[in-house]
Amino acid sequence: MLNKVIRLESRQMYPSIVTTSDNIFLSSRKDNSIEEVLARKEKNSMLSTVLEIPLESVQSISFHETSGTVKVKYINEKQKLKKRSLVFNSEEAANRYGQFLGQHIGLKEHTTEEKKIWQILKGVFFLALSIGFIFLMATIDDASALESNREGYSRSARNAKAGSAILQLIYTILGSTGSIALGSLISLGIIYFTYRRLQNPKMEIEWTRS
């Protein structure tokens, strides 16, 4: 990864990153080589900029195994602590770069298990939605009962109409019994994946100077 251009998520302010022996360079353009990045750095303008982060200023690097984001904390030229979030195109790419950067700088690695309470709450939330879906499908006699009464063109009204249309389509295709069966399968899937996640928690990784 050293001296190579790595593409970040394209909607970011800086979609290209290059790591050298001494610096991290973030370019506002989709450059193809380190030469392009360094040339752009010499010609910094309002339309094309390169952010330089000296590796010696990096205080910590952190990322989660299931996230595509690497967070870098560093001291800027004004001696203020700054944080830059690098959003990669995949979890694997983020994990690989985070490990590389921590080792390259010579930081110390610390790993902690993700908090299980958040996984439990997430599982309970989606299970409640699934059970609510089952209850709804069991108490109606016709798809027209699922029509939305929300009027207007606000986002909430549009979302309500879209949700209503989806529920009506499911009920029309599967009927009451099929919809209940679908909701039951979804509930079982939520329980299973929540249990698996709790049995195999993901790690939060942080590289620091101490």
Give pLDDT tens digits for 133-188. 999 888 887 777 677 666 656 677 677 777 788 888 888 889 889 989 999 999 99
Measure the CA–CA gap between 204 and 210, rounded to whole angstroms. 17
Give pLDDT tens digits for 28-86. 999 899 999 988 888 877 777 899 999 999 999 999 998 999 999 999 999 999 999 99
Tokens matching residue 93? 């790419």
Measure the CA–CA gap between 37 and 22, rounded to whole angstroms. 15
Q: Is the pLDDT of residue 20 over 80?
A: yes
Fold of the CATH domain 5-106 = PH-domain like (2.30.29)
Q: State pTM to two decimals.
A: 0.67
Measure the CA–CA gap between 60 and 75, rounded to whole angstroms. 10
Measure the CA–CA gap between 39 and 27, rounded to whole angstroms. 11
Q: Where in the chain is the domain with CATH 2.30.29.30?
A: 5-106
